[in-house]
């Protein structure tokens, strides 16, 4: 008997694993960018606020490109979007070591790499996968694809840290640019003709009408608000956790392994979330995840700052880290169907990254003004608790009715 009975089809597994592998490369490098903050500051002297601003712009641009890339993928197919995205990611990563100014850093690290990785991320990959498999396979598949991004963080965080130590941050970034090229054969397999799309017919009014209807839905807007707080939380941590570890007098290795552990724990969290959305309403899954973050951060603030505190904290955070993506994408699909899932889920990711911009940038300001992140932790607790509550009023049909339909 298969571990995932809804996935008993070779084409479904190929689609899922190829999308998961692409996300492993693009998100693995992206979620480890915080490891470059210290070396960048030491080498360029641009300052923590400037580097935080560049990474915050990257958070926003990564989100802003999602609905645009999704709309192009919905219209022209995912292949050209993924290919050009990978090439832009490679160019941005390769050029970053040459910049010496704030404008240059924002252009390469904040714009080019963000556009590239964002075009090869959740909205396009989940949309492409959903259109290439039956309904009963989508929940588990989204969890497996999402786990690919988490596995990438687990793999790349310690590798990047070692590369920074061995060949410097410039050599490390050039190495990551080379690795991104390895995703091209994967996208060729994902978008090959052997995976016949199960694309739904265009509804009346097309994409414009679908977006207008979605933006009038209170449930869709509540979903956006919850995802906004998720972006704030993740961007703050992925950008500033290495600096927080340093403030506690611990080795940079603790930071890299903490990020790796977050990615490893999120593999389990993503798979679990993907299975839960076939059993429980997605809004309840999201409410529990967000609320648990508020509790975890509070416990972290009360705990002694040892390396094992960070490792345990990483396990707890990692379980929900990006595991919010499968239930969020599932909710969008349940509310509006899958025809324009890449676009509509892309818009929720834009909300996520507006929160990400604030989390990354305000973290740098807080450190510069106060010398620590105390007020950012308090804001994180408040926003996580709020996100847990605002998902509850979302009008989601009971699972039994969905299965019957």
Q: Distance (Å, rounded) from C-alpha 362 to C-alpha 149?
A: 25
Given a contact cutoff of 8 angstroms between Cβ atoms, the answer to whether 211 and 347 are in contact is: yes
pLDDT of 283: 92
Distance of CA 283 to the CA centre of its chain: 19
Q: Distance (Å, rounded) from C-alpha 254 to C-alpha 245?
A: 7
pLDDT of 399: 59
Q: Distance (Å, rounded) from C-alpha 283 to C-alpha 225?
A: 13
Q: Running DSSP on this structure, what letter comes out for residue 99?
A: -
Given a contact cutoff of 8 angstroms between Cβ atoms, the answer to whether 63 and 231 are in contact is: yes
Q: Distance (Å, rounded) from C-alpha 32 to C-alpha 13?
A: 28
| Residue 365: other Cβ atoms inside 10 A | 16
Cα Rg of the chain, angstroms:
20
Q: Distance (Å, rounded) from C-alpha 389 to C-alpha 386?
A: 5
Q: Where would I find the H helices in 32-181?
A: 37-44, 48-76, 78-95, 102-105, 113-119, 122-130, 135-180
CA atoms within 13 A on the CB side of 252: 16
Three-state secondary-structure class, residue 217: coil
Q: Distance (Å, rounded) from C-alpha 351 to C-alpha 231?
A: 8
Distance of CA 296 to the CA centre of its chain: 20
Sequence-ordered list of residues with C-beta below 8 angstroms from that of 352, at least 6 positions apart, any chain: 63, 227, 228, 230, 231
Given a contact cutoff of 8 angstroms between Cβ atoms, the answer to whether 113 and 92 are in contact is: yes
Sequence-ordered list of residues with C-beta below 8 angstroms from that of 208, at least 6 positions apart, any chain: none
Which domains does the chain possess? 5-196+207-404 (1.20.1250.20)
Distance of CA 3 to the CA centre of its chain: 26
| Residue 250: other Cβ atoms inside 10 A | 17
pLDDT in single tens digits along all 405 residues of the chain: 344 545 556 778 888 899 999 999 998 888 788 889 889 988 888 888 889 899 889 888 988 898 899 889 888 889 999 999 999 999 999 999 999 899 999 999 999 999 999 999 888 898 788 777 777 777 778 888 888 888 887 888 889 989 999 999 999 999 999 999 988 898 888 876 444 444 455 555 677 888 888 899 999 999 999 999 999 998 898 889 988 999 999 988 898 899 889 888 988 888 888 888 878 888 999 999 999 999 999 999 999 999 999 999 999 998 998 889 889 988 998 888 877 877 888 899 889 889 988 998 899 899 999 999 999 999 999 999 999 999 999 988 775 544 443
Our CA angle for 285, 157, 358, nearest 5°, is: 60
Q: Distance (Å, rounded) from C-alpha 314 to C-alpha 157?
A: 13
Three-state SS string over 311-355 comes to: HHHHHHHHHHCCCCHHHHHHHHHHHHCCCCHHHHHHHHHHHHHHH
Q: Distance (Å, rounded) from C-alpha 274 to C-alpha 16?
A: 13
């Amino acid at each position: 008997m298969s571990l995932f009975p809804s996935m008993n089809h070779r084409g479904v597994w190929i689609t899922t694993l190829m999308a998961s592998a692409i996300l492993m490369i693009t998100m693995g490098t992206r979620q480890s960018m915080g490891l470059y903050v210290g070396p960048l500051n030491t080498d360029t002297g641009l300052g923590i606020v400037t580097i935080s601003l560049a990474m915050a712009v990257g958070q926003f641009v990564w989100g802003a490109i999602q609905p645009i890339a999704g709309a192009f993928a919905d219209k022209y197919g995912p292949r050209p979007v993924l290919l050009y995205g990978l090439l832009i990611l490679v160019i941005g990563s390769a050029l970053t070591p040459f910049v010496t100014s704030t404008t240059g850093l924002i252009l390469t690290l904040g714009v080019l790499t963000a556009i590239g990785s964002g075009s090869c991320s959740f909205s396009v990959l989940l949309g492409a996968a959903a259109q290439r498999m039956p309904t009963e396979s989508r929940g588990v598949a989204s969890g497996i694809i999402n786990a690919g991004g988490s596995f990438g963080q687990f793999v790349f965080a310690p590798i990047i840290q070692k590369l920074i130590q061995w060949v410097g941050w410039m050599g490390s970034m050039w190495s990551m640019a080379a690795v991104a090229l390895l995703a091209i054969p994967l996208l060729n397999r994902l978008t090959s003709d052997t995976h016949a799309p199960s694309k739904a017919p265009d509804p009346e009014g097309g994409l414009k009408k679908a977006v207008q209807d979605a933006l009038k839905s209170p449930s869709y807007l509540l979903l956006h608000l919850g995802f906004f707080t998720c972006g704030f939380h993740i961007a703050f941590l992925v950008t500033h956790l290495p600096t927080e570890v340093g403030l506690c007098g611990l080795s940079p290795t603790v930071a890299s392994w903490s990020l790796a552990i977050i990615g490893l724990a999120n593999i389990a969290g993503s798979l679990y979330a993907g299975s839960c959305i076939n059993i429980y309403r997605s809004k309840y899954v999201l409410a529990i995840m967000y609320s648990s973050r508020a509790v975890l951060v509070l416990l972290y603030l009360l705990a002694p700052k040892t390396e094992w505190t960070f490792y345990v904290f990483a396990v707890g955070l990692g379980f929900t880290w990006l595991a919010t993506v499968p239930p969020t994408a599932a909710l969008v699909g349940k509310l509006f169907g899958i025809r324009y899932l890449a676009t509509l889920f892309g818009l929720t990711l834009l909300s996520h990254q507006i929160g990400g911009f604030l989390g990354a940038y305000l973290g740098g300001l807080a450190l510069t003004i106060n010398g620590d992140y105390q007020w950012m932790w308090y804001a994180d607790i408040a926003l996580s608790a709020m996100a847990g509550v605002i998902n509850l009023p979302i009008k989601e049909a009971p699972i039994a009715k969905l299965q019957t339909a």
